[in-house]
Structure 1
Amino acid sequence: MNELFPPDSPAPASSTAPSRWQRLGLRTQLALVFGSLLVGVTVLMSLAFGELLRWRMEREVSASLHAMASNAARQLSDGLFSRAHTVEVLAASPELWIQGLEAPGVGALLNRARSLTPTSLWIGVADAEGTVRSATDQVLVGLDVSDRPWFEPGLQRVHVGDVRASSPAMSALLPPAADGAPRRFMDFAAPIRVGDLTQGVLCMHSSWEWVRETMQTLQQADSADRQIGLFIFDRRGRLIHAPGDSLEPLLALDQRLPVAHTVSADTADATLQPVQVARWQDSPQSFLTATVPL
């Protein structure tokens, strides 16, 4: 049975009240919609521009790091070439050896050659059997050096040895380093030939100090604040130079070259990505790392 309301009775209230959005006018609704779209687009563009700016800054810093590493590699290559060339020229001068490896003028010539390269600790001449015949300040003269790592390669070709510590016997015969630290040096050797006969080997021990001095001149004044450092690793990935006093702490942490690499004696066979983000042992942070084969 239906109950009818009297004609003059008020209609019942609606069961659902209009929402706040519905109570807004059309103009206000449009303004809110377009305003929200504008805010969204602005946020997206800000994020995009921020990412683009970060990418550009990373590219610029990467280029700067790679340029610094390339400059250091070039400077060191020039230094290595200069020392190797000095040894090669001396060894390839038959007029010096025609009277024998222990002729009176040979020792004087070796002393003059050492004075031209202040970082040279010792220059000596060994015969084909490995006995030192002449040397600067007569150091090691008469001793057998056939077991030294430079002798056998030096009989065959121009040889540039790895960085190594001086032996106790050699250290006792050479003046101590200015800072008292154990001396490290590189061997540069070349065969002495007169005609078709190989008479011996000429070898120069060059102090590793020149590398430290070269790297210091390349380090920028604000490098420490920007956490930029120049490091040298050998072809096996072992650290052999670090800025300041950081070498020993990094060696204690067994710091290796922190990027994938393949480096042989021929740098043309080296495979190194120019710049990578890498993790170093002394920091939880990752760093942009530029690598250049030397």
Structure 2
Amino acid sequence: MKTTDKANGSRQSFRGQLTLLFGGLSLASLLGVGVYVGHIATGELARFGGELLHTSARSAADLLATNLRERAQEIDLLRQLALFTRGDLSAQEMRQALDLRKTTHNEYAWIGVTDASGRVTQATDGVLVGAQVEHRPWFQSARSGLFVGDVHEAVLLAKQLPNRNPDQPLRFIDFAAPILDEQGQLRGVLGAHAHWSWVTETVESIVVNRVGQHGAEVLIADKAGHILYPFQHAGLLNLPAGASPQAQSERLQWSDGAEYLTSMVEIPTVAHTDLGWRIVLRQPLDKALAPVKALRQQLILLGLLTALACALVAYRLAARISRPIEQLARAARMIENRAGTPVYPGDEHASEITQLNHSFQSMTASLLERERELSQLNISLEAQVAERTQALHRANQELENLAIHDALTGLYNRRRFDEKLREYVQLFQRTGRTFALLVIDADHFKHVNDHHGHQAGDAVLQQLAQVISGSVRITDFVARYGGEEFVVLLPEPQDRQEGRVVAEKIRVAVSQSHFPAVGQLTVSLGMSFCSLKDTSETDIVQRADQALYQAKQQGRNQVVVATESA
């Protein structure tokens, strides 16, 4: 009886060892492959997530810098108009011009004009007229040049303007420029306060649509690393000490103890002013790597199930392999007990070994199939990365297209016009290739908005853009300059008469067009030609503006060509 128990124990030990051997080998192989694939997927996903964060932050920083630069250039050009350089700074026409500018750009909270002593002579909605602002930083700095200020809380305007976010203080960005007379003497300062919410909405418009759904958060930090936006973090959250703007993305631990995938981009210089702002995108690391964790769990579960199945197969195979040994043991016991003629195992054990070999081949094929599936999964991940990269490239192209076109009329915008004018001036200076500038302004357009509404005004501007575009040559460049003003660049006119012919063609086409809900509309046109006396591209713009002003003064619906000395 004891001998039988020992034999049974030996048989069970042999079967158990084979079962553990094959099951453990299967589990180790699958887990090893799973860990390796998970490691690769983790690195690739983190890299892709970092690239996506960095690209979004870069796009937001570039768009914000462009908008800030356009507002600064707008203030700089506005203060050079004849109304400011020669007009009465306290006149009602000044108030109307400022109100129109504020209405056109709703990012402005206040636009005002001061005299040389710092007294506000005129402002939008009459706010702060008569107030002394000589100690304000924007007035002090703007007396000597164009000024772009850092974000600050409202001081004089805090109680006079509505706060769209009552849970946080009213904050502004300042733009200011000196107003000089014809002798270059300071007449006053043109200042504007833009809503801080305009800055934050510009950034959010890029970031939220791209990575907001993935749990990413956008922050704006100043030079010292203090968070300016969102307001709930202001004064409580700072950039981590190890954050570097040169790194595309980093894994950083923030003050809340959590680890984030972080990307930071500095805002480019605006009007020779380094604001020091940084666009920071951070995404909780657990959310960034959530797909990899889910994949890793699936691989572990698959490995355990496969190992269990392999262990069951191994147990069955061990039982069949041990059968000849059991027969030998029974034969030995029969001989020992003299219980009869022993029965020895036949040659069938060779087929069992063959069967075992087939089982090993089946197990190997199963492992290779799992590896192939994991390889296909990795290829699928790479394909998703490539697809999202292409989508990001298309989004950047669309963003670039939006950056140079006017959203209302479809024409080129002010930014693209400035670039094109700079190219024409440089080409003229290098090669002598002449060009002309035509500035077009709709007559009595304020009457259209006041009596027919802004939607009708927008429709008029759209049709006016079509009429102008259809009246020029294919080589001419047409853009919306701002509000109801349009500009046309005429390359290489043969003489002044050819330029006037193009201008008259536009004027006649507009006057003969019918504008729904408005009827007839006329335009005034000012034209100037490039001159060797020009020191910058603003000279030809000023001459065209002066010619346009003269056309308005002479009764509108006419073309005035500026002389070279004008």
Does the alignment reach a TM-score above 0.5?
yes
Of 134, 137, 143 in structure 2, the residue corresponding to residue 149 of structure 1 is 137
1:111-122 → structure 2 map (5 Å cutoff): 111-122=99-110
Instruction: Name 2:238's counterpart in structure 1.
Output: 256
Deviation for aligned residue 1:76:
1.4
Query: Is 1:177 equivalent to 2:163 in the alignment?
Result: yes
1:65-104 paired onto structure 2 within 5 Å: 65-104=53-92
State the one-letter code of the partner of 2:192. Answer: M
AA paired with 1:275?
S
Would you say 1:273 and 2:247 are equivalent positions? yes
SS in 1 for 2:265: coil
**Cα shift at 1:123:** 0.6
1:188 aligns with 2:175: yes
Report the Cα distance in structure 1 between the residues aligned to 2:86 and 2:213, rounded to whole angstroms. Answer: 58
Shift of 1:62: 0.5
For the residue of structure 2 that corresponds to 1:134, the secondary structure is strand
1:291 pairs with 2:278: no
CA distance in 2, matches of 1:232, 1:142: 35
Is 1:201 the counterpart of 2:201? The answer is: no
Q: Provide the C-alpha distance between the structure 1 equivalents of 2:147 and 2:172, rounded to a whole number of angstroms.
A: 14
Relative to structure 1, the CA distance from residue 232 to residue 88 in structure 2 (aligned partners, 3 Å threshold; closer, same or farther) is same
Task: Classify 1:199/1:210 alpha carbon distance in 2 versus 1 (closer, same or farther; 3 Å).
Answer: same
SS in 2 for 1:177: coil
- Asked if the contact 2:75–2:176 (Cα under 8 Å) also holds between the matched residues in 1, the reply is yes
Please state how far the C-alpha of 1:239 moved relative to its aligned partner: 0.9
Secondary structure in structure 2 of the residue aligned to 1:49: helix
**Letter paired with 1:214:** T
Distance of aligned partners of 1:109 and 1:235 in 2 relative to their CA distance in 1, 3 Å threshold:
same
Q: Is the partner of 1:126 in helix, strand or coil?
A: strand
For each residue in 1:246-290, what CA deviation from the matched residue of structure 2 results, as whole angstroms up to 9, or x when unmatched? Answer: x32x336x211225468xxxxxxxx532211112233x3200111
Cα deviation, residue 45, structure 1: 4.9
Contact 1:260 1:272 in 2 (8 A): no
- Relative to structure 1, is the Cα distance of residues 61 and 110 closer, same or farther in structure 2, using a 3 angstrom cutoff? same
- State the Cα distance separating 1:215 from its structure 2 match: 3.5
TM-score normalised by L of structure 2 = 0.40
The structure showing larger relative contact order (alpha-carbon pairs under 8 Å, at least 6 residues apart) is: 1
- 1:230 and 1:95, CA in 2 relative to 1: closer, same or farther beyond 3 A? same
Aligned residue number for residue 110 of structure 1: 98
> 1:226-265 alignment to 2 at 5 Å?
226-242=214-230, 247-248=231-232, 250-251=233-234, 254-258=236-240, 260=242
- Aligned residue identity for 1:136: T
Deviation at 1:111, TM superposition (A): 1.0
Kindly provide the amino acid, as one letter, of the partner of residue 212 in structure 1.
Answer: T
| Distance in structure 2 (CA, Å) of the matches to 1:219 and 1:275 | 16
Alpha-carbon contact 1:279-1:287 (below 8 Å) kept: yes
Larger Rg: 2
Q: Is the 8 A contact 2:56 2:210 kept in 1?
A: no
Contiguous gaps of at least 5 residues in structure 1: 1-19, 263-270
CA distance in 2 between partners of 1:149 and 1:71 (Å): 30
Q: Is the 8 A contact 1:158 1:191 kept in 2?
A: yes
Q: Deviation per CA, 1:22-71, whole angstroms, max 9, x where unpaired?
A: xx9xxx99xx7x99999877655544333222111111001111111112
Query: For residues 190 and 76 of structure 1, what CA distance do their matches in structure 2 show?
Result: 20
Q: CA deviation at 1:293?
A: 0.6
Q: CA deviation at 1:291?
A: 0.5
SS at match of 1:78: helix
CA distance in 2: counterparts of 1:69 and 1:47, whole angstroms = 32
Change (3 A) 1:58 1:122: same
> Using the alignment, how far apart are the partners of 1:93 and 1:57 within structure 2?
54
Change (3 A) 1:58 1:102: same
Shift in alpha-carbon separation, 1:48–1:240, aligned structure 2, 3 A: same
SS at match of 1:74: helix
Distance across 2 between alignment mates of 1:127 and 1:222: 46
Q: Does 1:135 align with 2:108?
A: no
Aligned residues: 250
Residues in 2 aligned to 1:48 and 1:156: alpha-carbon distance in whole angstroms: 63
Q: Which amino acid aligns with 1:274?
A: Q
**CA-to-partner distance for each residue in 1:96-139, whole Å, 9 max, x for gaps?**
33134223421211111111111211111112221212211222
SS in 1 for 2:238: coil
Range 98-107 or range 82-91, more displaced: 98-107
Deviation at 1:151, TM superposition (A): 1.1
SS in 1 for 2:217: coil
1:221 CA drift (Å) = 5.9
Cα 1:256–1:136 shift into 2, 3 Å: same
Would the alpha carbon gap of residues 261 and 132 (structure 1) be closer, same or farther in structure 2, given more than 3 Å must change?
farther
Identify the range of structure 1 (48-57 vs 80-89) with the bigger mean alpha-carbon deviation: 48-57
Residue identity in the other structure for 1:140? L
Query: More helix per residue: 1 or 2?
Result: 2
Structure-1-length-normalised TM-score: 0.74
Secondary structure at the aligned position of 2:143 is classed as: helix
2-side partners of 1:251 and 1:233: how far apart? Answer: 9
Cα distance, 1:213–1:35 mapped onto 2, change above 3 Å: closer
User: What letter is aligned with 1:279?
Assistant: Q
